[in-house]
Amino acid sequence: MAEIENKINSSAKHDEKKRFKRRHFAPKRKVCRLCQEHIEKVDYKQIQILKTFMSNTGKILSRRITGNCARHQRQIARAIKINRNISLLPYSN
C-alpha cells in the first residue's frame, strides 16, 4: 500500500512541477507593434513613438520586454541614440 501511495504522490508532484513550468515559461506571444501598424521606418523625429520604447528612467527597453522584431529594435535604438545626442548639445555658447 505504501509503495502505491508513494508512486501516486510522486506522480502528482511531477504533474505539479510540469504545470508550474508551463505557466512560467509560456507567456503571451508578443508581436512587434511597428510591424502590426505597418511602420516601415522609424525616424528620430518621431519622439512620441520612441518614448513608448523607453523606460521611465530613459533607458531603451529590450526586445524581451517590448517584443519588437530585430529590424525595428535596431531602428528604435539608433533613433533614440540620435535624440540623446541632440539633447546633449547646448542651446547657446
C-alpha cell at 65: 520586454
Phi, psi dihedral angles at 41 (to 5 degrees): -120, 140
Cβ closest to Zn ion, residue 3 vs residue 40: 40
Given the rule CB under 5 A, which of 7-15, 18-26, 45-53, 71-79 is the region that contacts Zn ion?
Answer: 71-79
**String marking each residue 6-45 x if it binds Zn ion according to CB under 5 A:** --------------------------x-xx----------
69 touches Zn ion (CB under 5 A): yes
Burial of 34 (0-12, 13-18, 19+ CB in 10 A): buried
- 35 — alpha (psi -120 to 50), left (phi > 0) or beta? alpha
Cβ closest to Zn ion, residue 51 vs residue 74: 74
Residue ranges that bind Zn ion, judged by CB under 5 A: 32, 34-35, 69, 72
